[in-house]
Structure formats: C-alpha cells, structure tokens
Structure 1
Amino acid sequence: MNFGDYAAQKGLCEDLDEGKFSYPVVYCLAHHPEYRGHLLGVFRQRPTSTSSNGSSPPLSKECKAHLTACLKKSGAFDKTLDCLRDLERELEGEIGRLERAAGEANPMLRLCLAKLSVKGIARVE
C-alpha cells in the first residue's frame, strides 16, 4: 500500500482531526517553540462536543495545510522517517539474532518487516 492509498483509506491528517500528539507533533513542540502556538492553539480550539458517531468534526483543509506546513518546516516529518528507519534497522538486527539463536531462518517474520518497511519512502521535500 502506498501513501496515497493509505491516506484515502485512513483519511488525510486524521491524527490532527483527533487532536492526537503523534511523534511529528511532539517533535515539533519539543524542538521548535516557534510553532508551539500554532499547534496547541488548534488543539485547544477543538470542539468538546462530539457528533453522533463519537468524533469531532474534521479540521478544515486550510487548517490542516497550515499545520502540516509547520511540521514540514520544523523537520518533524524527516525526523519521524529517521526514527522509523532506525527502528527498522534494529528490528532487522533482532530478527538476525533470533534466527541465529534458533538455528534457522524466519522468512515470515522477515516478510512482515518487509511489508512495514520505510526504506523506499523519500524524505519530505
């Protein structure tokens, strides 16, 4: 599944709609105080009442565009990708260690990791 398919299935910036403090948001807040007011201001203004399906209405496209621009400028997306790549390398090493300890390859575990791989994902331009 590519990013476009994922976004179509999951919804664009759904974490922002839900006011979740995802890794990129936390990174941006911690390392770029100049964007703190933008992010926290939107999160604080989220309606407390929910719709019949139990969720708040989504943010406007303009609001999402502004917040994602802040995250991009802060380097939060690239930092997230770096973190995911580091974790993937650690998992590859751990799978290798487990295979050596078991004395046999584990192709299913390697296939699972390959499906989750971020190696082909380009940095945000």
Structure 2
Amino acid sequence: MDDGYDKVIIVEGKSDKRKVLPLIRESVDIICTNGTISFSKMDELIDELSNRDVYILVDADEAGEKLRKQLKREFPDAEHLYIDRAYREVATTPSKYLASLLLSANIDVYTEFLEKRMNL
C-alpha cells in the first residue's frame, strides 16, 4: 500500500475514497478501513504510516466516531477532518465542501471544486 506518498487519508469505505480521490491534485494515498479495523491490520497500518502525514476523514455518525476514537489512540499526531453533521456521510458530502475541507488541511485540490465567490 505504501507507494511513497507523504500524505495518507484514512476513510471508511470505497464510496468515500471514490468521492475524495477526484478532488485531490497531489499524490495522496487513500486507505479504506471498511468501517472497522482489526488489531493485526491496525498494527500493519501503524508500521506503514510512521513518518507520514495522516489525515482521518470519517462519517459524522456513530460508526464513524467509534472508528475516529480508535484511530486517535493509534495515530495521536493525525489531523482529524470533520464533515458537517448535516451531511452525515463523506460519500454524500458536496464536493465543494470536501475540497474546501481538504484545502484547509494543506492538501492540494483542483480549484474547480472550490466554492466560487460571486460578486453580485
């Protein structure tokens, strides 16, 4: 899984990865936990992700918060990205909102996904 990228985003599912991947302009590794993560897989991740910038982007629901707590313990230096609770799931969050969130974490995104400021 380590393809030499400095930044890693941990998401819950494949639909989250499919939502986030097209927004990102730089080379970032996106890892899916599929909602839960075993101890052996967690150990593997801890070894694999040492010395890399880890970002955690999970759903704003009970399962997402449970996973976030687990990841927070194992990756205390990770940056946590929070979607608005109104969207509940990363996969259903508007692309413009996600792009702004990623940009605020210093992840390079394609500008066409950013909110356009209109002068009225």
Q: Same fold (TM over 0.5)?
A: no
Greater helix fraction, Structure 1 or Structure 2: 1
| Structure index of larger Rg | 1
TM-score by length of 1: 0.23
TM-score by length of 2: 0.24
